[in-house]
Structure 1
């Protein structure tokens, strides 16, 4: 293998590492200076649908624990301002 080929392989590997770091959301990257875009308002129906799927899949206890984590005994008691965070937590529970 000649030196040019080795240098090309090294360049390709460095590029691949850069792409992998972006893909895995490497925490060592500096935060972006771009303004944060407004997040979509999450509705009660969206949260309810997600939690219903989890319950049907045998995660009723985890769903109840999530609701309680947000200071409520039932979904209708969860503050609307917490819907996005609750939905995000529920989505993470789906992956487990």
Structure 2
């Protein structure tokens, strides 16, 4: 499963992402910078294959060391095989951050 990071704001942001499996094991971590929104209204980064096995996962994201959000979800075998779901980190122009799960269409 992939993690998509979208910046809808007019400034670049430092984003810290941590994925914790079953409440204890960090399976993924990354600190990155996402550029300001482009002419299409956003800038998108896709972190590929950040979840590749069933389990309960917490995805934590922090922007600019100040604002954070997280979501916990149990991922079954069919989701890891079909990539029918994706996770998003959305940053808006007010520096708000939202982590959520979305279905791929």
- Identify the TM-score tier after normalising by the shorter chain: under 0.3
Bigger relative contact order, structure 1 or 2 (CA pairs below 8 A, ≥6 apart):
2
Name whichever structure is richer in helix by fraction: 1
Say which one has the larger Rg: 1
Q: Which has the higher strand share?
A: 2
